[in-house]
Amino acid sequence: MRFDIITLFPELLRAFMASGVIRRAFDGGLLQVHLWNPREYAGGNYRRVDDRPFGGGPGMVMLAEPLWQCLSAIRAHRQQDRKQAPLLYFSPLGEALNHERVKAWSQLTGGAVLLCGRYEGIDQRFIDAHVDAQISLGDFVLSGGEIPAMALLDAIARLMPGVLQDPDSHVSESFNPSMNGLLDFPHYTRPEVWQGDPVPKALLSGNHAHIQAWRRAQSLALSQRYRPDLVVAARTAQQLSPQDEADLLKLVPIQPN
Ligand code: SAH
């Protein structure tokens, strides 16, 4: 799957692609990433990529022309138009990323072109003419689209077979349908007692069914505590068993401080 990333800071993406488990996705060619710097498509001695906003105000705005030149070079290199490889722009006004949307983006067979903004953003005329979808990382403002691009690529890479060493790893993660959309259960490793705090007994029982039941109950408890909306959604989708409902009833309500 090919992604072309338009960024003024390609070195940020390079460091990201060379580290951690998702490096396998890039090294193995499952994810092909091409980095494009609009500065190389900017004219003049100074290769200007930004200018002051019409109407005044603080900050700078990314120029449409170098972006257009850069996008044209990408389209020529891919020999694909926007239907085969849409242009996704990271922006606070986009739809916030979540598991479902990551899954949908991971199914784009032709991949996509990702546009990382900087400064106050991008000349609106370029967005109107060429952007196919806008993606937000959440209701806060970052100084560039590179972190959202990394977040999207990282989350897509984790879903690709062969990237996580254990193919079951992502199946038991938060938000996955096999978890009925609930949060992941808590994890423990050695030592068995750490600073006087022992690992829950159920995990040492060696009884697989018992461990599964304990993990499910914990997953429910964490979801109920931190994301009660996920429990409501699972109930509405009839994904809670009578045992789940019984486990939920046993939870002690959290007292407000
Ligand atoms: N003036 C804009 C923010 C610009 S921040 C506003 O107030 O909405 C500069 C760039 O960072 C943006 O063009 C965008 O590409 C990226 N960015 C900032 N916050 C983001 C977020 N929450 N999600 C996705 N991209 C974001």
Whole-structure pTM value: 0.93
How far apart CA 138 and CA 171 sit, in angstroms, is 24
Q: What's the chain's average pLDDT?
A: 95
pLDDT of residue 171: 79
Report which protein residue has its CA nearest ligand 1's atom 15: 117
For 52-86, what is each residue's pLDDT tens digit? 999 999 999 999 999 999 999 999 999 999 999 99
What is the sign of the dihedral through the CA atoms of 67, 73, 77 and 81? Answer: positive
**Token pair recorded at residue 240:** 């809670």
Domain ranges of the chain: 2-158, 171-249
Q: Find all residues with CB under 8 Å of 84, minimum gap 6, and list them.
A: 78, 110
pLDDT of residue 66: 98
Is there an atom of ligand 1 within 6 Å of 92 CB? yes
Report which protein residue has its CA nearest ligand 1's atom 2: 120
What spacing in Å lies between the alpha carbon of 117 and ligand 1's midpoint? 7
* Residue 179 pLDDT level (bands cut at 50, 70, 90): confident
> Which one is the CATH code of 2-158: 3.40.50.300, 3.40.1280.10, 1.10.10.10, 3.30.2320.50?
3.40.1280.10
- DSSP state, residue 76: H
Mutate which of 142, 147, 152, 153 for ligand 1? The one with the most ligand atoms within 8 Å of its CB, which is: 142
Report which protein residue has its CA nearest ligand 1's atom 26: 91
Architecture of the domain defined by 171-249 = Orthogonal Bundle (1.10)
